[in-house]
A and B are shown apart, each in its own frame.
Chain A
Amino acid sequence: MSSFKRKAPSKQASLAPGTRFSPASLSTIITSTGIPSLDDILGGGLPLSCLLVVLAPDSHSAYGELVQKYFIAQGLSCGHKICVADDDAIHLVKECMWTPGSLQSTSTPPSRVEDEDDEKAIQHDDKIKIAWRYEQMKRFQTTVSSATSSADDYCFTFDLTCRIPESVVDAAIVAGKLTFLDVDSPHDQDVPVRRIIQQIQDILVASSAAQPVRMSIRALGSPQWGDLSPADILYFLHSLRGLLRRHPHGCASVSFSPHICTDAWGGPGWQQKVGWLADAAIGMTAFGANPSLISLFPSHHGLLQIHTLPAPHSILPPSDRFSALRGLSSSAGGAGGTGENNLAFKCMRKRLIFETLHLDLEGGVTERRTTPSTNAIALEAGALLEPPSINADGERKKATAHVEVELEAVEDLKAGEEIPKGPQPIAEPSKMKKPKKKVAFHSDRPDLYDF
């Protein structure tokens, strides 16, 4: 009898739902943030025992909060234990998005509904006649598809137009899977940082190691947290990361309040300090603050900066090897060899997407010719097909649209000349044709095209 035995795949069975092994190593277990493209950037997902920090410095939008909602919704879908530290946590959870198919039994399968935007775009593109030598090439992709991960329950496909059912939230609270930590307590003599750390520690100690625990903080540094100093925040991050390392079944996602996201608040190098004390730190800089960027990148809502990426068991972050969006390893081989892609994000009607940012064929001085219109057409068509439903994220969307309109006005004032309105927010389908024409005239504006 041979002394060699096949290794029994016993480890597979012991993995909790919603988690999987990191592609880089079997000692790292990762879980999804709820956004497939963000998972890809992190190297497959957020590793357990790691801390993700989202810096979204634009105070007129709430992309940091949106990431938290995805994180919570994903946790609720997989049955993870979730702990939300916020004074208004219950409302935050009730505003989360949800998977489309679970509420109403529509005739179309959820994946079809979800990918409607893409499919419309594809149909639109198909009408273009392509030169024969390019016809066989793979379609140019700017983001990763979520279809690959829909085979299991690793990452659910959420729809921003669906809201989480009350019954799900109530059931999770009753089952003890959803706990809330009050930030502002009348008994506190001091800033609540040390008390919250203690409470999180209690939760981690009390929970079983087999079930992942997700910590979510919507706005660290907002008024409810009291008068935090930069050292308090860094101490909080450092302690939280230490806790997660000691209890490796937990992971945390923290968004900062917009005003503390920039170096202007914490002194020179503040974002870097945060990056050093978090496992993963990303910055989502929305274009709201800069009208010229809005017109330069009409199809995106902001730029993504990667400050640091998780590498809990290795020196090289797994993302460098496995992220398709960052594209560091695309030329493969031992040598690698390409530079990192520029990344941006956009929030469409149904989902938030991170994708690669490309300049246009002409070098970025005009609009991207197809995408804005196809998006708008797809959205319009989607709105016609579907009955108007309560928008799970209605407030945020309104806020975004409002900001853009306001800033266009500012831009007009500043330029002091009769300037076309620039690309309208995609929420206004009736004015679709206008920006296309007008952008062409932009090229004589001195502030944008200062060659």
Chain B
Amino acid sequence: MFPPSALLSSRKLILITDELAAPADFLLHRFLSTKIRENKTSRCIVLSVSEDFERWKAIAAKSNLSLFQTSPGENLVFIDVLAKVQPPSHHEEKREIDAFLCPIYDLLSSALAPSEEHRETLVILDDIATLQWLGFTSIDLTRFSRSLRNLCAKADATLIIRHHLVNPPEVEPLLQHLFQLSSYHIEVRPLASGRSGAVSGEVCLHLGPAEGDATCPLTSRAGAIQYRLTDGGAIFFDKGTSGGVL
């Protein structure tokens, strides 16, 4: 039911925003496992900021999928971003801007290097907001996301970037920029009425400015699809049809 199958093979930038009460972890895991399952030769690259590989593995194992961290050129490449780069400390003197995230760009471009057979590729950046909170400047991250998108467009890969909303009505500059870059925007929101055992939250799919016509069915806020989390994923259903609703 969600996400539409056309979305994953759109080879565009998909922006996911979520809030603390309704984390979008389940969507990232779902995208990854769907991609690996549907096509054995596809390639997935995870740029991880906030989750370690053990958790990815444990959650994939719950849906009977075993992930192995393999060498570049194989199915799954897992890059721990903050093991490779350190956020700039405001206590030390300024270094050259752009220098901080270069190693990640280089790693990704080598991982995306064209191989002999043409393979579908999925790149996931699991948390760009945390990078900002840890001290990377907004301008650095703007440039980083733009170059990621260009890199993925060149390699014909789908790019998924997740951003956290911490102050929902307000949109910060980085997020505005990501909006402009995105072809699709998936919005994960908690219920306004608070946590519930039957409904964990709702998802909407909007068209982004970078895409002219939608190739997959969109979901507006009014018709948002609700979901309930389980140990290894989520169950989607239309509004008002959960088991707990009278």
Contacts and interface: CB of A to CB of B under 8 A. Distances in A.
B37 interface: no
B206 interface: no
B20 interface: yes
Nearest to A227: B91
A81 interface: no
A315 B90 contact: no
B52 A242 contact: yes
A316 B230 contact: yes
Contacts of A268: 166-167, 170
B58 A190 contact: no
Contact of B59 (A24, A191, A230, A313): A313
A234 interface: yes
A333 B170 contact: no
Interface stretch (B112-120, B149-157, B194-202, B215-223): B194-202
Given A314-B62, A315-B231, A316-B229, A276 B167 contact: no
A25 B233 CA distance: 15
A290 B82 CA distance: 42
B40 interface: no
B17 to A, nearest CB: 13
Interface stretch (B7-15, B96-104, B129-137): B129-137
Interface string B178-199: 0000000000000001111110
Given A272-B20, A331-B197, A235 B229 contact: no
B191 to A, nearest CB: 9
Contacts of A397: none
A314 B243 contact: no
Contact of B130 (A27, A238, A340): A238
B111 interface: no
Contacts of B193: 339
B91 A191 contact: yes
Nearest to A266: B133
A288 to B, nearest CB: 25
B196 A328 contact: yes
B244 A331 contact: yes
Given A245-B54, A269-B166, A320-B197, A315 B244 contact: no
Contacts of B243: 333-337
A340 B52 contact: no
Given A231-B133, A234-B133, A315-B29, A269 B230 contact: no
B228 interface: yes
Given A314-B231, A315-B229, A339-B193, A277 B198 contact: no
A359 to B, nearest CB: 16
Interface in A155-171: none
Nearest to A334: B243
B166 A272 contact: yes
Residue with the greatest number of chain A CB neighbours at <10 A, chosen from B90, B198, B245: B198
A340 B129 CA distance: 28
B133 A338 contact: no
Contact of B197 (A27, A190, A276, A328): A328
Nearest to A193: B89
| Most chain B beta-carbon neighbours within 10 Å: one of A25, A314, A331, A338 | A314
Contact of B20 (A235, A248, A276, A338): A276
Contacts of A307: 20
B59 A338 contact: no
Contact of A238 (B54, B82, B90, B195): B82
Contacts of B229: 315-316, 320
Given A242-B52, A307-B20, A315 B242 contact: no
B142 interface: no
Contacts of B233: 315
Interface string B64-103: 0000000000000000001000010111100000000000
Interface in A226-278: 229-231, 234-235, 238, 242, 245-246, 248, 268-269, 272-273, 275-277
Contacts of A315: 25-26, 29, 59, 229-234
8 contacts: A190-B91, A190-B92, A231-B133, A231-B134, A268-B170, A273-B166, A316-B231, A329-B197
Shortest beta-carbon contacts, A-B, top 8:
A337-B244, A336-B197, A335-B243, A269-B166, A328-B197, A313-B58, A272-B166, A269-B167
Given A312-B55, A315-B231, A316-B230, 8 more contacts: A235-B134, A276-B130, A315-B233, A331-B244, A335-B243, A337-B197, A338-B198, A338-B244
Interface of B: 19-20, 25-26, 29, 50, 52, 54-55, 58-59, 62, 82, 87, 89-92, 127, 129-130, 133-135, 164, 166-167, 170, 193-198, 228-234, 242-245
